[in-house]
Every structure is written in structure tokens, then in C-alpha cells.
Structure 1
């Protein structure tokens, strides 16, 4: 049976789940949720409006952490959470930390990167009409800054997030100096959480996401291109190469089209 993953393509929490599904070798079908109407339908199915959500047979599970635990219990091959007490504790603590730190703060840093017009338009689906691309590029930076204040992305909040992310990446680089994975000699939920949630800091190299090719390996200036964090991003690229399945190309008509889901 194929698992259905209700997602946003450029959602680092969805990417966390995609990494886990690929690592476990599970068959799944991505269903891109239409913002607005699709989220209302998600609410009817799961009781909340956020993605990711999976549907496995008659079972519906929301939230990336709950999904990871469900998948580990239901499909125990290639376990995500160790049984040894210390390793289990470290894995669960790091997964929670990654959600609250890298997951939340990287979105603020990505928003600051939208002030670059070319980067902003490159995030649009590949088949976006040229007129829409031009309109998006034409949005003044002052307007984006005003919007940023409204959603908690003031310059002060972005600077605080950047400082925190720099500290996080320094700590991760130190952890990875003498270890192939974050909590031991085998990958765990901690690794896939940190790797997936860092997606918005620097998009992975390779054909893993339905994004313009020019965004591969690109990300937040001062973070994605900083040699101080090369150890971390090299590790993450290796994790992708070993466990993430490349995206199957879609036709031009299919690419980038969100799907309004049907609730049974």
C-alpha cells in the first residue's frame, strides 16, 4: 500500500518526513496541498491545517514528529529511534531542539533572503507565468519589510535568528568532526530532522526538490556560502546521497501544480 504524503514542496517539515520515508524505503505519493482551500480539507481530515500529514490506509497522522514515531512503530525496519537509553535520549532531545531552533529560525532567514529579486522569483514553481514572475520581482523591499514586521520577521528578529543559527551550525560542525552521524555510528531521527529542517538555509545539491535548477546548492547568503559551516553541509549532502531518493521528473503540465485534495 502506498502512503499518501500531504505536503508543501518548500516545507522543511515535509522534507524531514520525505527523508524518513526514503530512508525506510517506503512507497509514498506526494500530494501538494493547495494553500487555503486545501488546508481546510486537511483540517477536515486531520483536525488541523498544517502540513505534513500522512494517510496510511485508514490511519491519518499529522505533525512531522508524530509521523516519524508512527512510521518507526509501524515499519520497524531501519529504526529511527535507538533503544539504548542514552542514545534514545540524545536522539529525542536533538529532534525536539531541531524543530524549535533550526526549523523556526531558518524560515526567518529565508524571508530576509526574499529581498533579493532574482532569488524571490526563483522560488516560484517552474511553470509560473512570466507576468506573475515579473509582478513578484517588482514588489519593493520596503513592502516586504513591512510584511516582515507583521509576521514577526522584523530586522531585529532576523538578526537574532541569524546569530542563533550560526551558533547551532558551529555546534553541529563540532559534533560531526569525529562522528559519521549526530548521535552515534548509525543514522537516527536526529540526523534526518536536522538535515531536512536545514533545507531553507541551503537547498540540497541534486534533483531532490521540485525547484528551479539554479536553486540547487543555493541558500541564505552568509550561511550557505560560509566556509565555517562546510563540515555541516558536506555531511548533509552525503546523507542525501546515501538515503534521499532523487525526484522523478514530471511533465511540464504537471510540474509545480498544487493539488486540491479530496477527503474520503
Structure 2
């Protein structure tokens, strides 16, 4: 049985969950609490980041590496193209999207959500240990400072992150159009990566997170303005998730 160590809120973990589900793999989820997760993950892997899977005494860390492992585990419903050119293109897209959307959307969203502990704490603690909300409330000031420092979250980086997200969405839509794909004419890890990492903006019902009903105004306005550019990602999510 595969064990997935994760944060439910994480869009990189959503990418790993999607890959596991798409490949039809049975797995058990271990939801961790931000901050406290470091000790648990460092027992398994070199870095403290999630997602991490454990399977048959093997440990795989990182969403891209997890997809590699799953495609090696089963040839059914491959996410990585076999043809060398398409394979290279899919991996390049994934690397670009991890950086330009994955990291950027995390920075941008947390920049505003961390100003609203009443909203972000239920999201961070969702489906974690029963005491998670209490611990996070007590230590939120410290956790917020650590997250901002570790992820380089501030006014300047948030503004730069939004520019990167907008540029990436333009590139995605120019390449895929309204009903195409990022590589070739079929669904690959590139498409999965794009849609999964955009879930904080898409906020699909299947992404089981208690989204705030009254999010920070600037964040809400950004999501509203970008909605026309998110239609392709929404189609991919609806069709393949």
C-alpha cells in the first residue's frame, strides 16, 4: 500500500493525489500539520517538504518525482509521453509550471491569507490532527513569520508572483487554446500539473478545502479578473479529475 504524506491544502499535494487517482493506485493518506510535519518528514527524506510517498520501503519526495515513480510502477494510463520529443516537452512544461505557477500562486495566496488567521487556520488544519486548530492558533504568529521568511512572501514577491502567474496563463492558453493540450493531442503530466497547481484559483468542489466565504478583497478580485483565463484549466480538471 502506498502511503501519501501531505497537507490537504497544498496544490503540489493535489498534483500527487491526482496522479495517484488517475493511475488507479490504492493509497493511504497521512495528513500532517504545518510546522510539526518537519520532524515526521525528516525521518523519511532529506528535505522537509511534502508531498512524500512511501511504498515497499521506497520513499519518493516531490510531485514530479512521484509521477515518475507511478509511471514506472504501472504502464497503464501513462502521464509521461513515450516519444522522446513529447517526453522532453512535457517535462519542460512541468518544470516551468511548478516554478511559475506552483511557487508563485503559493506566495501570492499566502501573502493575503496569512493576514486572516481566522480563514487560513481552518484550511491549514483541515483533516489533520484533532488538536491542529488549537495549536495553530497558539503559534500562528510564529508560524506566519516562518512561512513568510521560508517562502519569501512579502509585498514585492507577491506582486512579482502575480505577474508570473499572468504570464504563465497567457502562455498556457496560447499553446492549448480552448480545448487542446500542452503537449501533443492527449492528456499528459503537463496538463495535470497546470490544472492541479491552479486549484487555489479554480477552487473546485472536489478539492476538499474549506475555502473562505469572504476571502481577502485583493485575492478575491484577482481570482475574478483571471476567471476567463482559467477556463482551459477548469475543462482539464472537470474532464480528468
TM range (shorter): 0.7 to 0.9
What runs of 5+ residues in structure 2 fail to find an aligned partner? none
Contact 1:17–1:68 (8 Å) recurs in 2: yes
SS in 2 for 1:220: helix
Answering whether residue 132 of structure 2 is matched by residue 153 of structure 1, we say no
Question: 2:90 & 2:236 partners in 1: Cα distance?
Answer: 17
Question: 2:146 & 2:43 partners in 1: Cα distance?
Answer: 33
Contact 2:178–2:232 (8 Å) recurs in 1: no
Query: Cα distance 1:169–1:13, how it changes in 2: closer, same or farther (>3 A)?
Result: same
Name the structure 1 match of 2:165. 165
What runs of 5+ residues in structure 1 fail to find an aligned partner? 245-264
Question: 1:107 & 1:78 partners in 2: Cα distance?
Answer: 29
Contact 1:7–1:52 (8 Å) recurs in 2: yes
> Structure 1 length as normaliser, TM-score?
0.74
Name the structure 1 match of 2:14. 15
RMSD after superposition = 3.4
Question: 1:42 & 1:150 partners in 2: Cα distance?
Answer: 17
Answering whether residue 203 of structure 2 is matched by residue 204 of structure 1, we say yes
Query: Cα distance 1:33–1:121, how it changes in 2: closer, same or farther (>3 A)?
Result: closer
Answering whether residue 71 of structure 2 is matched by residue 72 of structure 1, we say yes
**Worse-matched range after superposition: 151-160 or 86-95:** 151-160
Name the structure 1 match of 2:184. 184
SS in 1 for 2:4: strand
Query: Cα distance 1:196–1:119, how it changes in 2: closer, same or farther (>3 A)?
Result: same
Query: Cα distance 1:110–1:102, how it changes in 2: closer, same or farther (>3 A)?
Result: same
Aligned ranges 1:89-128 → 2 under 5 Å? 89-114=88-113, 115=115, 119-120=119-120, 123=123, 125=125
Query: Cα distance 1:60–1:160, how it changes in 2: closer, same or farther (>3 A)?
Result: same
Q: CA deviation at 1:206?
A: 1.5
Name the structure 2 match of 1:243. 240
Contact 1:51–1:63 (8 Å) recurs in 2: yes
Query: Cα distance 1:151–1:48, how it changes in 2: closer, same or farther (>3 A)?
Result: closer
Question: 2:46 & 2:87 partners in 1: Cα distance?
Answer: 30
Contact 1:4–1:56 (8 Å) recurs in 2: yes
- Point out the structure with the larger helix share: 2
Q: Which has the larger radius of gyration?
A: 1
SS in 2 for 1:9: coil
